[in-house]
Structure 1
C-alpha cells in the first residue's frame, strides 16, 4: 500500500508543473478572447466622450453672437467701416481662433472685414438657427472638406458675417486624437460639411457615432478609423496582458506554495505511516437505560515523533482527498485488533466509500478474521459521495457474517442521507453533533433533529447521539427514545490506558449506585413507610 502511495506521490510531484502552467496560461487565453470586446467598448466610450466635446464647441461658436456678451460687443461697432470698426473686427472679441473671417455688410452695400479685401460669397441655400435670428449657409465648394459654414448675424439694417476656420477645427480634432477622426456636420437642409482626415470612414476598422443637436437643428457624426482602433487595441492589450501577468504570477505562486505544502503534508503522512504515528483513540458509547458501556468509536489520532498530537481536522480531509486514508485505516485497524481483548462491547471504525466500492474491508478481514473482529462495526462517512452502489452492496453482504454491522455516520449532513440507508440497507444511524447542539435553543435545526428521531423510530433504526455534552441534552434524547449516547458528558476520546481507567471508574460508580439502590430497597422492606396523620388545626374563628 505504501508503494502505491509513493507512486501516487510521484504523480502529484509531476502534475503541479502542468497545473502551474495552466494557471499561468489560462488568464492570457481569456485576455485574448475578451480583448476585442473590451477594446470595442473603450473605443465607443471615447467616441461618445469626444463627440460631446465637439457638440459643446459647435454650440459655443455658433450662438455666441446671440448671448448678452455677443450683443454687447456688437454695440461697440459704429457700422461705418471706419478704422475703429476695422480694429474691432480684428480683435479677439470679434475674431477668435475658430473664426477665419468677420465681415461687416452695411445697408448701403459697403463691405469691410478683418482681411485686406472683402470676401464675396454666393449661398445657394440659407436657414435660420432655431430660436435665433442667425442665418447659416455654406460655401459653394464641391468637396465637403473644403466647404465652409457662413453665419449671418442681422443687426438692424446691417449684417455681420462670420466664416469658420477649418484649420483650427482640424487642430481641435488632432488634439483629441492625431489622424484619427473625421467629422460630418449636417445642418438639415444644407450641404454636408466635413472636417478631419478624409480617408477615415473607408478603413477596415472604422467606427461611427452620431448625435442630433436640437438647439442647432444639425446632426454631427464622428468617424474613427484604423489608427484610432489600433491605438485602443494596443493600449487595452498592453493593460490586459500586464494585469493577466500579475494575476497569473500571483495565482501560480499561490498554487505552487499550496501544492508544495500539499506534497510536504503527503510526505509527512507517508512518513507517519512508516513510523506508526497514527494511533487509535476510543470514545465510549453509553446505553442510558442500563448505564452500561455498550461499545466505543475508534477515532484515529496522529501523534508525531516529536510528541505533538495533530488534530483530526488538520489531516483527515487531506488524507481522504489523497487516498492515504486507506492505509491509515489499515494501520489503525491492526492496532484495534490488538486492543480488542481489553475493550468492552463493539468498536466502530470510520470508513469512506472507497473501502466498500473496492472491497478493501473484506480483503483485510479475510486475512485477520478472529472472534474479536466479529465485534467490529463500520461507520460510513459521507464527506465524499459514493459512486458505485452495486459494488458497495456486494461488499456489505459479504461482510454480514464477519462483523457487527454498519452505521451511517453524521446522518443528515452528507451527500446521501436517506438514499444511502435505502440503497445500502443500513439499520443504524449516528445523529451529528450539530443537531444535538440545538437542544434547548431556538435554532431552526432543532426541527431537523425531531424529524431525524421520528424517522429513526418509524424505520426501527438504531440511533446513536454524537456530541452529547450536557445532562439537559442527555435527558432530552432519553425522553424521546434515543438511548445510546456518545460525547464529552461521559468521556472524551482517550487512549487505551485512559479508557481502561474510565472502565474502572464507570464500573465502580455503577456498583456503588446498585449497592445504594439495594440498601434503600432493603430499608423500605424492613421499615415500611406509614402514612402519618397530623392533628387538625383548631378553628381560631
Structure 2
C-alpha cells in the first residue's frame, strides 16, 4: 500500500495545500480571457446589430410599399384604363388625384401620339436626361431608372407604351439616400436595384462612390425582382464597435466569473472525491457483491461476477456509478481491485468453492493488463488461496482503451498459462471489440445490457446484438449475456446459442451472507 501513501502525500502537498492560490490564478486568467474574448467580438456584434436594425427598417418599408403599389403591371393598367390620352380636364384631374392619394407616386406623365403631354407635377423635373433601362415587365410595360440630381436619389419609373401613346409613373424613392444616425449624417447608403441591373440603377456621384466600393452590409430581396442593398461606412461600424467594447468587457468578465465558479465547484468535488476514495482504500471500505451467472441449458450456476460497492464509513452504501468512472480515470481503481480480489478470495474460500468448479469473474482495466509485474503479484495471491487459478476469469472493459496492445498480449498469455481466462466485457460498446479479440486472442465475451434490452423491441441495436451473437457462434467463443431481466430476453438468447446469462431475472447482486445462502441452495439442488 506504499503507492497509496505516495499518492496521498502528493495530493496533499500539490493540490490541497496550494488549491486556494492556484484557484486565484485560475480565476484571474478565466476572467481576463473571457473579457478579452468578448471585447474582440465587438466588430462582429456591431455588424450584426446594425444589420438587424436595417433589416427591420427595410421589412417595414417594403411591406408598406408592397401594400400600396402591389404588382407594377396591375398598378399601371388601372391608370391606363381610366384615361383618354387627350390630356383634357378629366385626364389631368385623374392623374393629379391618383398621385396625391398615393404616397409612393412622385408624378404621372401622359404623352399621346400627337405630342400632347401633361403631368400631375406642375414644376420642372430635375432628373438626368438619359434614363437607365432596368427590365421589361410585359410586352408594353418596362421599368426604368431616373436620377434626381438635386436630391441625389435613385427613382424608379414605370412606363406603358401603346397605340394611343405613353404613360410613365415615377415613384418616390423607396429608401432615402442616407439613413441618419447618432454618429454621422452620411454613413449608410441604401441602393434599390434589380437582379440583372444592379450596376445601372444608381448613378453615383463622387461622394457616394466610397460606399459602393465596399461590400454591402446586407441584402433584401422583395417583390417585382427588386433588391435593396445597404452600404455602410467602415468608420460607422468602428464607432459602434468602440461603444460596445466596455459593455462586452463587463459581460465577458461576469461570464468568466460564472465559468470559474463552475470550474471551482467541479474541481473541489473531484479533489474531495479523490481524498475520500483514498481514505476508503486505507480503511478497506470497498466490498464485493456477487451476481450469479446461470447456465440456462441445465439451470445450474456457472459462476458469479464480482461487483464492487463502497461501504462508506461502514454506514452508507455508495453506487458504483458515483465513484467508478473517477476511480478508473485517476488510476485508483487498481488499488480498489486489489482489495476486492483479496476479500473475494477469502470469502469464497470459506464456501469450499474449489469443489463447485464455479468461475469467479473480476473486472480489470486495460492498465492492469499492461503491467506484468503487478499481475504476477495478483497470480501469487490467487495461488496462495484455496481457489484454483482455473476458476478465475478477468474481464477487461471496453470503456477504456489499451495504450500498448503488445504488452497486454504478453500479460494475457502469461495469465492463460496460469489457467486464468480473460474475457472481453461490454462487447460492442467501446474501443475496437473485434480488434481486441483478434490481437489479444480472447475466447470469451460478455454481451452488454444495452443490447439485451433491445430484445422484443424495434430498436436498431437489436441487429447489432444479432451480429455479435453470430460472430461469437461462428468463432466458437464462450458468450455471456448480462442484464437479463425477462423470460423473453432469456429465451431469445438461449434460442440463439447464448446460454450463459446473468441479470435480475435470476438474481440481483448479493452481499456475501446472501450469496452464501444462494450457493448452499444451489449445491443442495444439484
Root-mean-square deviation (CA, aligned residues, Å) is 6.5
1:191-230 correspondence runs (5 A)? 199-202=207-210, 206-207=214-215, 224-226=231-233, 229-230=236-237
Selected match of 1:331 from 339, 348, 354: 339
> Who is 2:480 aligned against?
464
> Who is 2:41 aligned against?
31
Instruction: State yes or no: 1:347 paired with 2:356.
Output: no
Q: What is the TM-score when the length of structure 1 is the normalising length?
A: 0.63
In structure 2, the CA distance between the partners of 1:22 and 1:287, relative to structure 1 (3 Å rule), is farther
Gaps of 5+ in 1: 80-88, 101-113, 151-162, 187-191, 511-541
Secondary structure (helix, strand or coil) at the match of 1:298 reads strand
Secondary structure (helix, strand or coil) at the match of 2:510 reads coil
Selected match of 1:2 from 1, 4, 19: 4
Secondary structure (helix, strand or coil) at the match of 2:288 reads strand
CA offset at residue 225 of structure 1?
4.6
In structure 2, the CA distance between the partners of 1:44 and 1:492, relative to structure 1 (3 Å rule), is same
Distance, in Å, in 2 between the alignment partners of 1:140 and 1:474 is 87
String of CA shifts for 1:121-172, please: whole Å, max 9, x gaps: 9997799999999xx999998x98599999xxxxxxxxxxxx99xxx99995
String of CA shifts for 1:230-279, please: whole Å, max 9, x gaps: 27853995699489737666555544444443333333323322332211
> Who is 1:318 aligned against?
326
Instruction: State yes or no: 1:266 paired with 2:282.
Output: no
Structure 1 contact 27–244 (Cα < 8 Å) conserved: no
Structure 2 contact 366–400 (Cα < 8 Å) conserved: yes
Structure 2 contact 446–479 (Cα < 8 Å) conserved: yes
Instruction: State yes or no: 1:423 paired with 2:439.
Output: yes
CA offset at residue 176 of structure 1?
5.1
Secondary structure (helix, strand or coil) at the match of 1:370 reads helix
Gaps of 5+ in 2: 91-95, 108-120, 158-169, 195-199
Distance, in Å, in 2 between the alignment partners of 1:202 and 1:299 is 75
Selected match of 1:487 from 496, 503, 520: 503
1:15-414 correspondence runs (5 A)? 17=26, 24=34, 28=38, 31=41, 38=48, 45=55, 177=181, 178-179=185-186, 180-181=188-189, 199-202=207-210, 206-207=214-215, 224-226=231-233, 229-230=236-237, 234=241, 241=248, 245=252, 251-288=259-296, 291-305=299-313, 307-343=315-351, 344-345=353-354, 346-359=359-372, 361-362=374-375, 364-365=377-378, 368=381, 370-372=383-385, 374-375=388-389, 376-402=392-418, 404-414=420-430
CA offset at residue 422 of structure 1?
1.0
In structure 2, the CA distance between the partners of 1:204 and 1:35, relative to structure 1 (3 Å rule), is farther
CA offset at residue 429 of structure 1?
1.8
Distance, in Å, in 2 between the alignment partners of 1:140 and 1:470 is 85
Distance, in Å, in 2 between the alignment partners of 1:146 and 1:452 is 74
String of CA shifts for 1:270-319, please: whole Å, max 9, x gaps: 33223322111112334456655443211000111262212222322232
In structure 2, the CA distance between the partners of 1:278 and 1:234, relative to structure 1 (3 Å rule), is same
Structure 1 contact 299–493 (Cα < 8 Å) conserved: yes
**Number of residue pairs the alignment of both structures matches:** 487
String of CA shifts for 1:513-540, please: whole Å, max 9, x gaps: xxxxxxxxxxxxxxxxxxxxxxxxxxxx
Secondary structure (helix, strand or coil) at the match of 1:395 reads helix
Structure 2 contact 42–242 (Cα < 8 Å) conserved: no
Moved more, 352-361 or 173-182: 173-182
Q: What is the TM-score when the length of structure 2 is the normalising length?
A: 0.64
Structure 1 contact 464–482 (Cα < 8 Å) conserved: yes
Secondary structure (helix, strand or coil) at the match of 1:399 reads helix
Distance, in Å, in 1 between the alignment partners of 2:496 and 2:32 is 55
Distance, in Å, in 2 between the alignment partners of 1:285 and 1:125 is 95
In structure 2, the CA distance between the partners of 1:230 and 1:146, relative to structure 1 (3 Å rule), is closer
Distance, in Å, in 2 between the alignment partners of 1:477 and 1:120 is 91
CA offset at residue 417 of structure 1?
1.9
CA offset at residue 368 of structure 1?
3.3
Structure 2 contact 30–257 (Cα < 8 Å) conserved: no
Secondary structure (helix, strand or coil) at the match of 1:493 reads coil
